[in-house]
Copies of this chain bind each other. A is one copy, B any other.
Amino acid sequence: MTTLTEFSLAEATAVLTRTPTILNALLRGLPSVWVRRNEGKDSWNAFDIVGHLIVGERTDWMPRARIILEHGEERPFDPFDRFAQAKESRGKSLEQLLDEFARSRKENLAALQALNLQPEDLTRRGMHPELGVVTLSQLLATWAVHDLTHLHQLSRVMAHQYREAVGPWSAYLGVLQCNGHSAP
């Protein structure tokens, strides 16, 4: 068994590969109460979250991996735009976004595999504009946990819609006590 801190490319890839299928199973064809509603104010609904994941595929994970491999710490990553999806998702259906995410993730995982990363590559360092020095393995671990943080958020946003409907059971349902820390 590995320790808590050890990163494995195969393990991270196992999570990354599954996410499009999970989101399809969870969201495709769901009634709008679950996918178009948010947690109030400018919080995100399922539509926003899938849009955000697409932007990450295009501008965050693999582009940053390439910056680390090509430039190391010399060239800081470009900042990530957490609100780009508002513009980019406009006019698209949730089903279109799910298709786009699945396609983009598949391409990125193929590109990751094509890098044929060796254990020593995983220790290579890059420069995050806010967090400072990070390693390639930390970036790839974060890619996987970022998927999980948005699955966590999706389950919470959906549960919120039935906050009143469950009546006194709300005391027993942990997801209804989650205070929104998983907004990205």
Using a CB–CB cutoff of 8 Å, the interface residues on chain A facing chain B are 1-2, 4-8, 10-12, 14-15, 18, 21-22, 24-26, 29-34, 128, 131-132, 134-135, 137-139, 141-142, 144-146, 148-149, 151-153, 155-156, 158-159, 161-169, 171-178, 180-184
Q: Which residues of B contact A167 (CB under 8 A)?
A: 134-135, 138, 141-142
Known: A21-B25, A155-B148. A174 touches B168 (CB 8 A): no
What is the CB-to-nearest-CB distance from A81 to chain B, in angstroms, rounded to a whole number?
14
Known: A142-B166, A145-B176. A31 touches B5 (CB 8 A): no
Q: Is the interface of A mostly helix, strand, loop or mixed?
A: helix
Q: Which residues of B contact A7 (CB under 8 A)?
A: 162, 165
Are A1 and B165 in contact, CB atoms less than 8 angstroms apart? no
Known: A169-B142, A175-B152. A163 touches B34 (CB 8 A): no
Are A31 and B18 in contact, CB atoms less than 8 angstroms apart? no
- Given A11-B34, A148-B158, 11 more A-B residue pairs with CB atoms under 8 Å apart are A1-B33, A4-B164, A8-B31, A11-B31, A11-B33, A14-B31, A26-B151, A135-B167, A142-B169, A145-B166, A178-B181
CA distance A65 to B165 in the complex (A): 16
Known: A25-B25, A33-B1. A174 touches B153 (CB 8 A): yes
- Which of B11, B22, B165, B172 makes the CB contact (< 8 A) with A22? B22
Are A4 and B163 in contact, CB atoms less than 8 angstroms apart? yes
CA distance A153 to B20 in the complex (A): 19
Are A165 and B5 in contact, CB atoms less than 8 angstroms apart? yes
Q: Which residues of B contact A145 (CB under 8 A)?
A: 159, 162, 166, 169, 173, 175-176
Q: Which residues of B contact A21 (CB under 8 A)?
A: 25
What is the CB-to-nearest-CB distance from A102 to chain B, in angstroms, rounded to a whole number?
12
